[in-house]
Structure formats: C-alpha cells, structure tokens
C-alpha cells in the first residue's frame, strides 16, 4: 500500500498600503496642471509612471503637466515641473503662473513672490484683477533662419509663420519638426504663428513631452513675441498673444539685441481640488 501525503501550502497575501493624495487642479488659458503641495516631501517624484497616470485624462486626474510646490531655503518656494509623459522637464510659463496662484491659495505668499525653478529665479505678482505676471529669463541668443526662428525662453522653441493657422495640422507638422533632424534627440517645442495686426499675433503650439497641441504654452507665447520683434513684424515691446485657450500678454525691454525684464501675463485659475488613491 502506498501512502500519499498531501502537502497544503498556504499563501499569505500582503496588501500594499495605499495613500490618499490631495491635489489641486489649475489652468492658465487652457493649459492645465495637477498641483501638489509637497513641502513635506511625501510625494514619490521618481515614479514617472505614477505621474503620467495622474496626468492621464481617462485614467487619472488629467493635465498637461504636474507641478510640485516645495520648500526652498532662499526663496518663497521651489517649482518642480513634470510633463504629462511623467518626465521632469524645463520651465513652463503658464505652469509657473498657476503655481504662484496656488502658493497664494496655500497662504505661502500674498501678492508678490520670488521662487526658484529649473531655469533659475522668477519674480511674480498677482494684480487686483487676479492676473499673474511672471518674469521670464532674459534672452540674448535668437537664431534666425529663412523659414523659422529658434530661441530658448526657459524651454526651447521653434517659431514659424504660416498662412492658414486655423486649418493647419498642428499635431502632424509639429511632430515632424519636433522629431526631425533639426533638433536631434532632445527635440523642441514648435509654435505656428499668424499675424493679426502690429501688436497682436495668434499662435498654436505643439508641446514636447505632451506630444500634442495644447490650448496654450507660456514659454511658447514668450518665444513668439520676441521672435516677431526680431523679425521686424512688430516694433512694440508689449505683444498680445491669442492662444486657443484665451489671451496672454508678453512685455520686455530690448537693448542691443538683448531682451530683458521679460514678463508673461495672463489668468491663472483654480478649477477644483480632490483626493486620489495612489
């Protein structure tokens, strides 16, 4: 007789403890962001998959990017910006303006601030009309080619005039330039522009890292204003920019080909807040 012993294995499941994350949603002329108060440094910011999921419009909160507000020893706060693909990125102008409004909501600041971002120090004010004016970096190098202008306003931007902006295929043509040989592996944001009058331009932007058209791009609007001045399309130093999500104003001082005291001004609005399990 053969005895068969049955060995029963018991598997113990360990549930991973999840965390409730409080977030705020802001938008500046349609450029929308997930905002997180990370002054206690609890957010797992190396988790690019999580950041991309939070920015996903179907499976997360939804946004063109995610921004952390963190402590800084020398300024009011630190800005850490991530594109919707989950990767930390260069400066975002509309994001910076929205972060200033967020900082005021948290009582970190009142109506004036200086903060640090990836491209350096930024000064900003909130007007009585609620519009946020953000000082951008100085620009002293502008590459002018026959068909386009390239410059860095905290992020790299290709600027190109087109005739039929309304019907132009932004995603297809923007991607072709962004991924083309011109800018190599790093790529560039791409702005397509139409002149309205001496002080007003309309633009549409393909954003690197979002990999699609966005309703607005602050560093892009800044790049367009400076590029149009360099090309002689306007002699004004306060330029109105019509973007898909609203209106922005860029002003600057110009001397001997250098652009200083560059300011990006526009709305930065709270949309909603909530919690999500991560």
Q: What is the pLDDT of residue 3?
A: 45
Per the annotation, binding residues are 31, 83, 93-94, 189, 207-208, 218-219
Q: For 3-54, write each residue's pLDDT tens digit.
A: 434 333 333 344 567 889 999 999 999 999 999 999 999 999 999 999 999 9
Q: For 225-235, write each residue's pLDDT tens digit.
A: 999 999 999 99
| 55 carries an active-site annotation | no
Torsion sign, CA atoms 115, 119, 33, 245: positive
Q: What is the pLDDT of residue 15?
A: 57
How many domains does the chain contain in total? 2
Are 175 and 117 within one domain? no
100, 132 contact by CB (below 8 A): yes
**10 lies in some domain:** no
For residue 182, what are the domain limits? 142-264
Q: For 23-86, give the DSSP string.
A: EEEEEETTEEEEEEE-TT--S-TT-HHHHHHHH-TTTSS--SEEEEEE--SSSS-EEEEEETTS
Q: For 73-116, write each residue's pLDDT tens digit.
A: 999 999 999 999 999 999 999 999 999 999 999 999 999 999 99
Q: What is the pLDDT of residue 11?
A: 34
Are 164 and 97 within one domain? no
Question: Residue 235 and residue 237: Cα distance in Å, rounded?
Answer: 7
Q: For 127-150, write each residue's pLDDT tens digit.
A: 999 999 999 999 999 999 999 999
**From 9, 55, 92, 98, the catalytic residue:** 92
**From 9, 55, 98, 217, the catalytic residue:** 217
| 217 carries an active-site annotation | yes
Are 24 and 131 within one domain? yes
Per the annotation, binding residues for substrate are 31, 83, 93-94, 189, 207-208, 218-219
Q: What is the pLDDT of residue 2?
A: 39
Torsion sign, CA atoms 98, 102, 103, 109: positive
CATH number reported for the structural domain that contains residue 195 in this entry = 3.10.310.10
């Amino acid at each position: 007789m053969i005895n068969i012993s049955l060995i029963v294995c018991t598997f113990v499941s360990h549930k991973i403890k999840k965390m409730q994350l409080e977030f705020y949603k802001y938008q500046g002329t349609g450029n929308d962001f997930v905002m997180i108060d990370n002054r206690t440094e609890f957010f797992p910011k190396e988790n690019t998959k999580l950041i991309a999921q939070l920015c996903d419009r179907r499976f997360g909160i939804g946004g063109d990017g995610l921004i952390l507000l963190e402590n800084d020893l020398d300024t009011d706060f630190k800005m850490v910006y991530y594109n919707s693909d989950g990767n930390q990125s260069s400066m975002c102008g509309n994001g910076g303006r929205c972060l200033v409004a967020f900082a005021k909501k948290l009582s970190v600041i009142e109506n004036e601030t200086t903060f640090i971002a990836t491209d350096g120090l930024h000064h900003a004010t909130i007007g009585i009309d609620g519009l946020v004016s953000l000082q951008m970096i100085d620009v002293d190098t502008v590459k002018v080619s026959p068909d386009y202008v390239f410059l860095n306003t905290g992020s790299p931007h290709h600027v190109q005039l087109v005739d039929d902006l309304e019907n132009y295929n932004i995603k297809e043509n923007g991607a072709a330039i962004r991924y083309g040989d011109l800018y190599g592996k790093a790529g560039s944001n791409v702005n397509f522009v139409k002149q309205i009058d001496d002080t007003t331009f309309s633009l549409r932007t393909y954003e690197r890292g979002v990999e699609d058209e966005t309703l607005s791009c602050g560093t892009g609007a800044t790049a367009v204003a400076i590029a149009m001045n360099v090309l002689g399309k306007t002699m004004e130093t306060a330029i109105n920019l019509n973007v898909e999500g609203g209106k922005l104003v860029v002003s600057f001082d110009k001397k001997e080909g250098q652009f200083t005291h560059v300011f990006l001004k526009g709305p930065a609005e709270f949309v909603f807040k909530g919690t999500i399990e991560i």
